[in-house]
């Protein structure tokens, strides 16, 4: 295919709430450009996007799909994204490499919950935005209400470029306010007639056109001067002003269309060609060291891998954007993160699952390659002389956790390997084996996200597993001093085992005074891997325990601290004083003193008013004001402490501290309470004492040690 230079490449991402029509709009754009000759449908399961078996089974997008069109000497790369927030990783990666966002609005519903959530991601990148009010042909379409909701939510930057002459089933004509003509479409859609604006629409069109001219003029001083001089701007001048406004987030052009009927997408494509910023005009990329990466086709090649996908019977497909230079098939590039050298055996332009070989891709273009061995999502490849590591995408923190238990023990290792592979493709799926909890933990964005992971395990890898409630990382400590002793004696013929240890334990806290009741011979402060400290004193006098056995006593104490007496959780913040004991000249050895130290510590711990501590998280919930009461009530049932409230734009922010055990499946409950309009983030704050009744219940459950399936 033709190699386009950076001035003639446009990269757009389609964003929108579920069922807004993104996939059909992408299909329509490819059809308009002649890339495909028959438009698919969601019901027919034959669209270029949504081509994965899982997407066809569910009837909605799960993955971002890369496509392209060639339209009037321009190449438009299109990325169709999922509408559900559970798949935010796919949206964010696509936003990162796009130069313009097309936010699709359903004409029946206007700005929806999904639109609000997506807008938060779009604002993080400050990319130019176009609004496409779709489904104007639907019997329940209300373009005026949809336009009003856009204006109310996004302010005066929302700028009308078109409006429909009629809507609903009679929709067939659009008034274009930039060109000041009417486009009338044939009944079956396709290429419209270009007609004068009817007299009945002339006054309205003139008013809106004048508003558009003013909006274009106010983005540039020279254009403003021309506007004052002439009282208007010509079409090219308006385009220049609108482009500047889009780049600075001062203009959000609004179009109308019916993707289902193939009406209006071609006009928006023409606008993208002529007005939407090219990669050269977009904000430059930033390297890991903070410097801007110059967009220069003449420099050595730098590629950023924004998506990886494993294709059955084919291998790993890596999608990338050329940040600078140009890349040819057969090129050898260096991975900035690992130092590994990768050879690009083939280069592709992708249209869903269809691949088209190309020999070369230039700066600003988006392509794919197969079977990179050591390169994954969020990594940079560069040619010699172009040493650069592009700043990685920051993906949202997980909002839901689950433990994974293989249906067959023989599959334990294989499930771990497969989940690690899924993480490489989708960094928003986090996978780790918790040595503390003795569970394999998956963290994801929501219930739908977990269902997708499970689908892959069962359908792609034929592995069956249960997703169960993860255990909680409790801590154990004590509330008062206590003393204990333990004699270990074992005789079974030949050399025996003997050790006797006396020790005292106390709660430890920062700034605690040194002990005075015993003579201190040695002190060791252990910073525990799981938080807190163990302060260990050797207070032995008179040689009743040889100094060489003291480390063994410490080792025994540490082993018991790794599996506390209440629930088997880690013990923290304890001071131990070993002050007396006995040994045998023949039978005493390291193992004897380790066992004696462990058992003496256990006995003392259980007499020292043991206290279970639970992890507490700082919770921030962004919620619309009208459902704030319901969300607050739910938080109170979760033993939350409300720390304060704030506001951000159209949201109220509730700040609370909540025990981790109360946050299991919270994302699902919050979605139900807010109709999907709220979101939350959580961050570990501290460990705090568990209420006595709950501690007793957890201790009993720990003895049973049977996780409950969810």
Burial call 23-55: b when 16+ CB within 10 Å, e when fewer: bbbbbbbbbbbebbeebbebeeeebbbbbbebb
pLDDT, tens digit (0-9, with 9 covering 90-100), for 249-297:
999 999 999 999 999 999 999 999 999 999 999 889 999 999 999 888 8
Which among 248, 281, 314 is the end of a domain?
Answer: 281
Beta strands in 475-594 (DSSP E): 475-478, 482-490, 497-507, 522-527, 533-538, 570-571, 574-582
Please give the mean pLDDT across all residues of the chain: 93
Check if the beta carbon of residue 488 is closer than 8 Å to that of residue 556.
no
Domain co-membership, 102 together with 242: yes
Over residues 288-313, the mean pLDDT reads: 90
The residue whose two tokens read 């794919």 is 368
List Cα–Cα distances, 600 to 408, 471, 574, in angstroms. 40, 28, 14
At a CB cut-off of 8 Å and minimum separation 6, what does 633 contact? none
Rounded CA-CA distance 118/539 in Å is 63
Question: Has residue 389 been placed in a domain?
Answer: no
Domain co-membership, 56 together with 204: yes
Domain co-membership, 371 together with 445: no
pLDDT, tens digit (0-9, with 9 covering 90-100), for 631-658:
999 999 999 999 999 987 678 899 999 9
Inter-axis angle of helices 221-230 and 199-217, nearest 10? 140
Question: Has residue 395 been placed in a domain?
Answer: no
Q: Residue 708 above 60 pLDDT?
A: no
Over residues 229-242, the mean pLDDT reads: 93
Domain co-membership, 499 together with 362: no
Q: CA 686, 692, 694, 699: dihedral to nearest 10 degrees?
A: 100
CATH number reported for the structural domain that contains residue 428 in this entry: 3.30.70.870
Over residues 126-136, the mean pLDDT reads: 96
CATH number reported for the structural domain that contains residue 648 in this entry: 3.30.70.240
Which among 578, 606, 634 is the end of a domain?
Answer: 606
**pLDDT level of residue 704 (50, 70, 90 thresholds):** low
What's this model's pTM, rounded to 2 decimal places?
0.87
Q: Residue 208 above 80 pLDDT?
A: yes
Phi, psi dihedral angles at 122 (to 5 degrees): -60, -40
Q: Residue 7 above 90 pLDDT?
A: no
Given the DSSP bridges, would you call strands 74-80 and 100-106 parallel, antiparallel or unpaired? unpaired
Which among 250, 281, 312 is the end of a domain?
Answer: 281
pLDDT at 311: 79
Question: Has residue 392 been placed in a domain?
Answer: no
The residue ranking higher by pLDDT, 122 or 605, is: 605
pLDDT, tens digit (0-9, with 9 covering 90-100), for 144-181:
999 999 999 999 999 999 999 999 999 999 999 999 99
Domain co-membership, 333 together with 425: no
Lowest mean pLDDT among 212-216, 377-381, 495-499: 495-499
Element (H, E) at 302: strand 302-311
Over residues 605-622, the mean pLDDT reads: 95
Check if the beta carbon of residue 353 is closer than 8 Å to that of residue 408.
no
pLDDT, tens digit (0-9, with 9 covering 90-100), for 71-95:
888 999 999 999 999 999 999 999 9
**pLDDT level of residue 113 (50, 70, 90 thresholds):** confident
Angle at CA of residue 235, ends 233 and 239, nearest 5° = 95
Over residues 360-374, the mean pLDDT reads: 94
Domain co-membership, 93 together with 227: yes
Domain co-membership, 210 together with 106: yes
Question: Has residue 163 been placed in a domain?
Answer: yes
Domain co-membership, 695 together with 595: no
Question: Has residue 388 been placed in a domain?
Answer: no
Q: Residue 379 above 60 pLDDT?
A: yes
pLDDT at 434: 92
Domain co-membership, 244 together with 101: yes
Structural domain of residue 463, as residue ranges? 400-468
Q: Residue 703 above 80 pLDDT?
A: no
Would you give the distance in Å from CA 109 to the centre of its chain?
Answer: 27
pLDDT at 647: 84
Would you give the distance in Å from CA 138 to the centre of its chain?
Answer: 34
Question: Has residue 709 been placed in a domain?
Answer: no
Domain co-membership, 245 together with 219: yes
Question: Has residue 143 been placed in a domain?
Answer: yes
pLDDT at 707: 43
**pLDDT level of residue 1 (50, 70, 90 thresholds):** low
Check if the beta carbon of residue 371 is closer than 8 Å to that of residue 418.
no
CATH number reported for the structural domain that contains residue 377 in this entry: 2.40.30.10
Check if the beta carbon of residue 133 is closer than 8 Å to that of residue 47.
no
Tally of domains within the chain: 5
Over residues 41-61, the mean pLDDT reads: 92
Check if the beta carbon of residue 584 is closer than 8 Å to that of residue 549.
no
Over residues 122-135, the mean pLDDT reads: 94
pLDDT at 224: 92
CATH number reported for the structural domain that contains residue 491 in this entry: 3.30.230.10
Domain co-membership, 624 together with 668: yes
pLDDT, tens digit (0-9, with 9 covering 90-100), for 444-493:
999 999 999 999 999 989 999 999 999 999 999 999 999 999 999 987 76
CATH number reported for the structural domain that contains residue 106 in this entry: 3.40.50.300
Domain co-membership, 74 together with 154: yes
pLDDT, tens digit (0-9, with 9 covering 90-100), for 654-683:
999 999 999 988 988 998 998 888 888 899
Question: Has residue 407 been placed in a domain?
Answer: yes
High-pLDDT (> 90) share of the chain, %: 82
pLDDT at 705: 60
pLDDT, tens digit (0-9, with 9 covering 90-100), for 316-329:
999 999 999 999 99
Element (H, E) at 631: helix 628-637
């Amino acid at each position: 295919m033709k190699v386009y230079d950076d001035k003639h490449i446009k990269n757009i991402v389609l964003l929108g709430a579920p069922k807004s029509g993104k996939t059909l709009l992408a299909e329509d754009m490819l059809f308009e450009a002649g890339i495909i000759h028959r438009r698919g449908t969601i019901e027919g399961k034959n669209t270029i996007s949504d081509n994965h078996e899982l997407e066809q089974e569910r009837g909605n997008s799960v993955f971002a799909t890369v496509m392209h069109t060639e339209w009037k000497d321009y190449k438009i790369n299109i990325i169709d994204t999922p509408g559900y927030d559970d798949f935010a990783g796919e949206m964010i990666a696509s936003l990162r490499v796009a130069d313009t966002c097309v936010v699709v609005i359903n004409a029946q519903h206007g700005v929806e919950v999904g639109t609000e959530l997506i807008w938060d991601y779009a604002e993080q990148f400050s990319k130019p935005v176009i609004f496409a009010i779709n489904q104007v042909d639907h019997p329940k379409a209300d373009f005026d209400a949809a336009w009003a909701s856009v204006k109310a939510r996004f302010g005066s930057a929302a700028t009308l470029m078109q409006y429909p002459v009629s809507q609903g089933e009679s929709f067939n004509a659009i008034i274009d306010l930039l060109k000041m003509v009417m486009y009338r479409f044939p009944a079956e859609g396709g290429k419209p007639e270009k007609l004068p604006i009817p007299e009945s629409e002339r006054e309205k069109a003139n008013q809106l056109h004048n508003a558009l001219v003013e909006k274009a003029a106010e983005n540039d001083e020279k254009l403003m001067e021309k506007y004052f001089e002439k009282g208007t701007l010509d079409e090219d001048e308006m385009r220049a002003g609108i482009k500047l406004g889009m780049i600075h987030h001062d203009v959000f052009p609004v179009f109308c269309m019916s993707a289902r009927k193939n009406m209006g997408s071609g006009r928006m494509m023409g606008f993208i060609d002529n007005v939407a910023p090219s990669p050269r005009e977009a904000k430059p990329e930033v390297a890991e060291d903070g410097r801007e990466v110059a967009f220069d086709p003449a420099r050595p090649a730098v590629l950023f891998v924004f998506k990886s996908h494993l294709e059955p019977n084919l291998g790993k497909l890596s999608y990338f954007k050329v940040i600078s230079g140009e890349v040819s098939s057969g090129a050898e590039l260096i991975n900035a993160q690992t130092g590994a050298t990768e050879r690009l055996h083939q280069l592709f332009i992708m249209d869903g699952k269809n691949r088209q070989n190309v020999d070369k891709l230039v700066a600003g273009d988006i392509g794919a390659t197969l079977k990179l061995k050591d390169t994954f999502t969020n990594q940079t490849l560069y040619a010699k002389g172009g040493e650069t590591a592009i700043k990685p995408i920051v993906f949202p923190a997980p909002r839901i956790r689950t433990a994974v238990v293989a249906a067959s023990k023989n599959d334990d290792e294989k499930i771990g390997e497969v989940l690690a592979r899924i993480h490489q493709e989708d960094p928003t799926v986090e996978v780790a084996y918790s040595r503390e909890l003795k569970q394999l933990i998956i963290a994801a964005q929501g219930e739908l996200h977990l269902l997708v992971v499970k689908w892959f395990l069962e359908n792609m890898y034929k592995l069956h597993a249960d997703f169960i409630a993860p255990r909680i990382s409790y801590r154990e400590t004590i509330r008062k001093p206590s003393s204990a002793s333990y004699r270990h004696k074992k005789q079974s013929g030949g050399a025996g085992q003997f050790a006797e240890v006396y020790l005292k334990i106390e709660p430890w806290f920062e700034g605690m005074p040194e002990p005075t009741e015993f003579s201190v011979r040695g002190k060791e402060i252990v910073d525990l891997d799981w938080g807190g400290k163990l302060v260990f004193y050797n207070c032995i006098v008179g040689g009743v325990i040889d100094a060489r056995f003291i480390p063994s006593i410490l080792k025994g104490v540490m082993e018991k601290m790794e599996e506390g007496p209440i629930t088997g959780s880690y013990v923290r913040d304890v001071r131990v004083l070993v002050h007396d004991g006995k040994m045998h000249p023949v039978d005493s050895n390291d193992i004897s003193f380790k066992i004696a130290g462990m058992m003496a510590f256990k006995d003392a711990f259980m007499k020292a008013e043991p206290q279970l501590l639970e992890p507490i998280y700082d919770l921030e919930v962004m919620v619309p004001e009208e459902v704030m009461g319901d969300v607050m009530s739910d938080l109170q049932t979760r033993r939350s402490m409300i720390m304060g409230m704030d506001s951000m734009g159209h949201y109220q922010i509730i700040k609370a501290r909540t025990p981790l055990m109360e946050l299991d499946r919270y994302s699902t409950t919050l979605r139900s309470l807010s109709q999907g309009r709220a979101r939350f983030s959580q961050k570990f704050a501290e460990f705090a004492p568990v209420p006595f009744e709950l501690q007793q219940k957890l201790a009993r459950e720990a003895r049973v040690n049977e996780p409950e399936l969810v």
